[in-house]
Amino acid sequence: MSLDASTPSKATPPPAQRRRVSVLGATGSVGQSTLDLLSRSTDAFEVVALTGHSNVTLLAEQAKASCAKLAVIGDAARYGELKAALTGTGIRCAAGPEALVEAAAEPADCVMAAIMGAAGLRPTFEAARQGRRVALANKECLVSAGDIFINAIAAAGTELVPVDSEHSAAFQAIAGSDPSGIERITLTASGGPFRTWSLEQIEAARPEQALKHPNWSMGRKITIDSATLMNKGLELIEAFHLFPVSIAQLDVVVHPQSIIHCLVSYTDGSVMAQLGCPDMRTPIAFSLAWPRRMAAPTERLDLVKLGSMTFEAPDEVRFPCLGIARAALIKGGSAPAILNAANEIAVDAFLEKGLGFLQIAHLVSDVIEAADVRGLARPPAGLEDVLAVDAESRQLARTMLRAYV
């Protein structure tokens, strides 16, 4: 089952009504961009629930500025701080993982799912179950629980609109076309900050160097994933679940300017591409307003100023994570969930505990192998099974990490 980009369903309200939007992960990079857009279109949108994890100050500010009805902080220990910050505003507040799920269930037309990592699974699933349109930034839902999540969307009869720029681009390039005519989907990758570095240089890369993405401004975790190309690997898995293609029909090309976000090739030789300056507010705006369009204050594409665009094949020797992710997709079952869990631990260890940059790939690969031996790579029966595999893989990754640092 894959995404149908051509027909808005019952979750699309008539244009005269203000669309009610909840933002999960409001304090993050995607969340802040979402609120920036919503604040510029208050005639078309109203804010319902906002969530954060640790940043109480920003969450309270956002809730007040957007006149949200509910603010939820994931870290239960910060409830008192949030309550104090919102006293006298009339904005309800709550805390803890269960409250995040309740925020997702709050009556709304659209839920922006922008929590980072597997922590976003439960709330995003709840939004789907409740029949909300899901604007999906949290790619982990599709990586770790792809079929189950797509089935949950279908069972609720609601819509899934991708926010990831490449998938938003593919969604737009496919809309209205006969899906059986799709020959290939090519995701573009910037190549990250180490695109031109030698293997020896990459081996010695430090967190502050990996956090300097050449084109996109994003959260820390996805910025490291962009430097290792694991992000593109996760996006291959995401695309596989979103669009009606086989693994063999999915490709990656490095395009350092990040202007073309995805190309969809058809059986008649036609190639549809979506272009735009690299600013997440464009795909976020698309997901919020679809099937209409809303204004986004992004830099406009000037082809003459740009001059040229270049392309190259990804180098899987210097960037082994791409191949590791593709292998997990081919293996199927829970292998992608194990990959994601191990990678979250590895990236955190690179940022905080001195794990080497290339060791991220080694650790992830070792964890997938060890998890497979333990029978963890079995096909997941449902969300709870995915979460159990995720937890066990994290534990395994933490244990195996000790041999590295």
Interface with ligand NDP by CB under 6 A: which range of 115-123, 168-176, 200-208, 264-272? 115-123
Q: Where on the phi/psi map is residue 399: left (φ > 0), alpha (ψ -120 to 50), or beta? A: alpha
Figure out which of the listed residues 222, 259, 347, 383 binds ligand NDP, where binding follows CB under 6 A. 222
Cis amide linkage into residue 291, ω under 30° from 0: yes
Determine if 119 is a binding residue for ligand NDP (CB under 6 A).
Answer: yes
Interface with ligand NDP by CB under 6 A: which range of 174-182, 203-211, 214-222, 348-356? 214-222
Min CB(221)–Mg ion separation in Å: 13
Interface with ligand NDP by CB under 6 A: which range of 49-57, 81-89, 299-307, 396-404? 49-57
Closest to ligand NDP by CB, 138 vs 343, is 138
Q: Tell me, what DSSP letter sits at residue 381?
A: -
Min CB(117)–Mg ion separation in Å: 15
Determine if 122 is a binding residue for ligand NDP (CB under 6 A).
Answer: no
Q: Where on the phi/psi map is residue 404: left (φ > 0), alpha (ψ -120 to 50), or beta? A: alpha
Figure out which of the listed residues 218, 239, 321, 335 binds ligand NDP, where binding follows CB under 6 A. 218
**Assigned token pair, 279:** 């600013």
**Assigned token pair, 309:** 């665009």
Backbone angles phi, psi at 238, to 5 degrees: -60, -45
Closest to Mg ion by CB, 70 vs 218, is 218
CA pair distance 391, 347, nearest whole angstrom: 16
Interface with ligand NDP by CB under 6 A: which range of 113-121, 200-208, 294-302, 336-344? 113-121
Determine if 366 is a binding residue for ligand NDP (CB under 6 A).
Answer: no
Binding mask 137-176 for Mg ion (x = CB under 5 A): ---------------------------xxx----------
> Which residue reads 């996805």 in tokens?
222
Backbone angles phi, psi at 380, to 5 degrees: -75, 140
Strands (E), 25-106: 45-52, 70-73, 92-95
Q: Give the distance from CA 68 to its chain's centroid.
A: 24
Q: Where on the phi/psi map is residue 192: left (φ > 0), alpha (ψ -120 to 50), or beta? A: left
Min CB(225)–ligand NDP separation in Å: 7
Figure out which of the listed residues 22, 34, 62, 138 binds ligand NDP, where binding follows CB under 6 A. 138
Q: Where on the phi/psi map is residue 20: left (φ > 0), alpha (ψ -120 to 50), or beta? A: beta
Rounded-to-10 torsion of CA 174, 175, 177, 178: 80
Considering only residues 240 to 259 of the shown chain, the ones binding ligand NDP according to CB under 6 A are none
Partner in contact with 256, chosen from Mg ion, ligand NDP, none, beta carbon below 5 to 8 Å by kind: none
Determine if 280 is a binding residue for ligand NDP (CB under 6 A).
Answer: yes
Strands (E), 53-132: 70-73, 92-95, 110-113
Determine if 238 is a binding residue for Mg ion (CB under 5 A).
Answer: no
Are 138 and 127 within 8 A, CB to CB?
A: no
Figure out which of the listed residues 22, 27, 188, 190 binds ligand NDP, where binding follows CB under 6 A. 27
Contact footprint for ligand NDP (CB under 6 A)? 25-31, 52-55, 74, 100, 114-116, 119, 137-140, 164, 216, 218-222, 280
**Contacting residues toward Mg ion, per CB under 5 A:** 164-166
